[in-house]
A = this chain, B = another copy of it.
Amino acid sequence: QARDHRMRCFCADDGLKTIRLNRVEKLEMIPPSPSCGKQEIVATLKDGAGKKCLNPESIFVQELIKRVMQKRTQQ
């Protein structure tokens, strides 16, 4: 039953466990919903390099989000 949800999820797999912050143009966080029962985190890469799903369970991904939150202005 739970697997049915995946059909309308954006991410087909568990996603990357690590990514370099300087490659990231935008991070999208999508809470679980009726159309996808799992949280999804999608990174849009710079230079039109597409989108990558990130693994919300990954400690590195969680740290990345904290670092993005802390980086409020350009140094």
Contact = CB atoms under 8 A, between A and B. Distances in A.
A74 B33 contact: yes
Given A56-B72, A72-B38, A73-B38, A27 B24 contact: no
A26 B29 contact: yes
Say whether chain A's binding surface is mostly helix, strand, loop, or mixed. Answer: mixed
Interface residues of A, number: 24
Given A62-B69, A69-B65, A72-B39, A25 B33 contact: yes
A40 to B, nearest CB: 9
A18 B32 CA distance: 20
Interface of A: 21, 24-33, 37-39, 56-57, 62, 65, 68-69, 71-74
